[in-house]
Structure 1
Amino acid sequence: MEEPLEPEKIRSAIESLIFTSDKPIFIDDIKKLFDNLEAPKIRELIESLQKELIGRSSGLRVIEIAGGFQMVTSPDNAEVIKSYYKIKHTEKLSGPSLETLSIIAYKQPVTRIDIEAIRGVNADGVIKSLLEKNLIRIAGRKEVIGRPFVYGTTRLFLDYFGLKSLAELPKIEEFAQQDILLDVKLASGEGDITPLSKEEEEQLQIGEQDANQKDP
């Protein structure tokens, strides 16, 4: 029978897991790898690791993002890293994209008709672009005339804006000085939301694959 690992060895293993993962790693995923190690203890070890990295002025940090943990470089070293690797800034979202994304984030699940009613312009192109960037997803259909798709945000949306959850979104009142009117009734009316059927999901996946193959 194997002896249980000491906390320091477990913390070391967790550090390696977070370091090698290219996406946030979740406590539940870590829990599956260690017998009799509960979630609170895992969080305690991760928090200990976070303090240790900061305490010795490490060039790495462990941050909590989108409900998981990821290792990143220290923000203190950002300029040095940019200079060395000549890192290009991530492509910024356009004004219409940010506006549409804000509407979806606050009003989700929301239809294209609702988005266009709030923005006052056609939203087909912007929605397509946000879907391609995986910042939004088709969350189902609204049970009104025509059964339109409804859209919601993705986990990548949380990652992109450094949020743990949608609860961390700024309050709608903070947009009072902007032209976006989020506190309005939905143009599509009231209706239940139905998840996509398995067949619809498969058709959408096939459509995405075909579109990717056509891209140069």
Structure 2
Amino acid sequence: MKSHEIKAVIEGLLFVSGEEGIDEKQIMEVLQLDRKTVKFYMSELMEAYSADSRGLQIVEIAGGYQFTTKAEHALYFKRLIQSPSTTTLSQAALESLAIVAYKQPISRIDIEDIRGVKSERPIRTLLAKSLIKEVGRVEGTGRAILYGTTKEFLEQFGLRTIKELPPLPSNIEDEDVEEEVDLFFAKFQEQLAVVNEDK
């Protein structure tokens, strides 16, 4: 494989790994390269993405790599979050929020297993609105981020504690969660409408 192809694959790996990131060992295994070679290509990519013309950067955290936005652009991301078109939650975000609320602490991968679709974007939305937060990491390989609800989540939807969520059947299976949280969605959508009318 040529140099530019290797770097293109690494970019793709960084993209699909999302906020979880990808560690050096995973890149080595996928591309069948040694550590020194991976470090060489990562160094080149990180330098390329550090240019002012790039909106993303590659950061190294705890032996892994991930795409992040640049701190100097934070003002524009804040404007996006605060714009009128983003005051309500999409159905995807509501579904993800419901799953986090009932199954916390839970990883993005587990949320996606339950929903059956990619959930990185709704999770980013929920994080930006402070409805969920990182509460830890899964033990073992990958150390996936675990999510839970926040104090703002309780305040936003008029709950004193997480125990006030509509109860689910005690014998519910993971694959049935989305169906069973219809009541949860209805409660939240009604509350969202009230909240948005007040803004």
Give TM-score, length-normalised by structure 2.
0.42
More helix by share: 2
Structure possessing the higher radius of gyration over alpha carbons: 1
